[in-house]
A = this chain, B = another copy of it.
Amino acid sequence: MNETSLYALLRPLRILVLGYGNVTQAFLPLLVSRSEWLGRELGIHPLISGIGTRSGGFFVHPTGITPEQLAQKTEARTWFASQSMQVRDATAFIQAGRSAGTSLLLELTTLQPRDGEPALTHIRTALQHGMDVITANKGPVAHAQNALQALARQRDVQFRFESTVMDGLPLINLAQFTLQAVEIRAFRALLNTTSGLVLSMLEQGFTLEQAILKAQQLGVAESDPWYDLDGWDAVMKTTILANNLLDAHITPAMVEREGIRDITSEDIFAAALSGAPLRLVSSASRVRGMVTASVRPQPIKADDILHVAKGTTSVISLDTEAMGTITLVEHEPLVLQTAYGVLSDLITIFRQKRST
């Protein structure tokens, strides 16, 4: 059988993409590089049937463009728009995409932490239209995971979000697929890169402005760095992990939060000199059925496993009931790791479909 006829046997997977930032731009070439794998292992070939952004508009293509074609264009988004039909807004985008046979929405817009909007509405709309949804956006998951998953179950579709915490490191999937029948009782983690980088630069005598600038240059800081430094990013991640690893039902408002805003340079120097530098620790634990969670600066001694997180490295240590303590370290991730998290969700969705 020649290549063309093999290709014809594959099922098209039409994808809508909301957001065209770093993650989307890393995801599209990753999808190209996994094209052969997706065909061989899952029997699908992906097509991009829509790209939408708030600033650039919402565009839907009637049959879908292969990621390979897109990857050949220097201005891929503009070129895609030129081939497509523009629609009014995100809701019209999802409806038009659904009519064109799209079954998957990637919600990759940037975070709006207060209430997770407008991503939350995008996700709800897509699920209501019977589409699977993958998001890398912490907001909607931290604020409304339960409601969104109930909706997904009702419509017999999936809602996945592996890349919201520690990028593509399999953390949600670890609990779901490989640590079955084991209770995770607690975790401690360093999940916010910006605060770690800023604290370590302050220890070295740099100013706060220099430290923030560095984190922004590395592309790890949120557009408002205080979102990181006041602990909000860590709160969102802690909420998601508590709900998914510890089976809690909490919202971000229930996580005790203390950022690094009020720590003095004296405190920072003294802690570092004593060998136990301050870092923004996320933790949660279940005690007599109740899960409590917090984000706060804590001294990290040299013999603490969290001490391994240098630079942009993140770490989580799980205290489990039958498997003792397990630690996972993600060393200096780049945006490719976040994009892989999205791909791994896509793969999981199709593996699960095949198994039901």
A: residues with CB less than 8 A from B are: 30, 34, 37-38, 41, 168-170, 173-174, 177-182, 305, 308, 322-334, 336-337, 340, 343-344, 347, 351, 354-356
Known: A173-B178, A179-B170, A344-B180. A331 touches B322 (CB 8 A): no
Q: Which of B178, B333, B336 contacts A177 (CB 8 A)?
A: B178
Chain B's nearest CB lies how many Å from the CB of A162? 9
Nearest CB on B from A348, distance (A): 8
CA distance A322 to B330 in the complex (A): 12
A312 to chain B minimum Cβ distance, whole angstroms, is: 10
Given A329-B327, A344-B178, A355-B355, the answer on whether A336 and B322 have CB atoms closer than 8 Å is yes
Contact of A37 among B170, B181, B331, B340 (CB under 8 A): B181
For the complex formed, measure the closest distance between the CB of A303 and the CB atoms of chain B, giving whole angstroms.
Answer: 8
- Inter-chain CA distance A114–B18, complex, in Å, is 57
User: Which of B38, B177, B326 is the one whose CB lies under 8 Å from A331?
Assistant: B326
Q: How far is the CA of A168 from the CA of B180 in the complex (A)?
A: 11
Determine if A328 and B331 form an interchain contact, defined as CB atoms under 8 angstroms apart.
no
A168, closest chain B residue (CB): B323
Task: Kindly list chain B residues whose C-beta atoms are within 8 Å of the C-beta of A323.
Answer: 168-169, 330, 337, 340
| Given the contacts A347-B181, A355-B354, A324 and B333 also touching, CB distance less than 8 Å | yes
Decide if A328 touches B330 in the complex (CB within 8 Å): no
Compute how far the CA of A131 lies from the CA of B350 in the bound complex, rounded to whole angstroms: 29
Q: Does B305 lie within 8 Å of A329, measured CB to CB?
A: yes
From the candidates B170, B322, B337, B354, name the one contacting A168 in the complex (CB within 8 A): B322
User: Residue among A180, A308, A336, A340 with the most chain B CB within 10 A?
Assistant: A180
Nearest chain B CB to A184's CB is how many angstroms away? 13
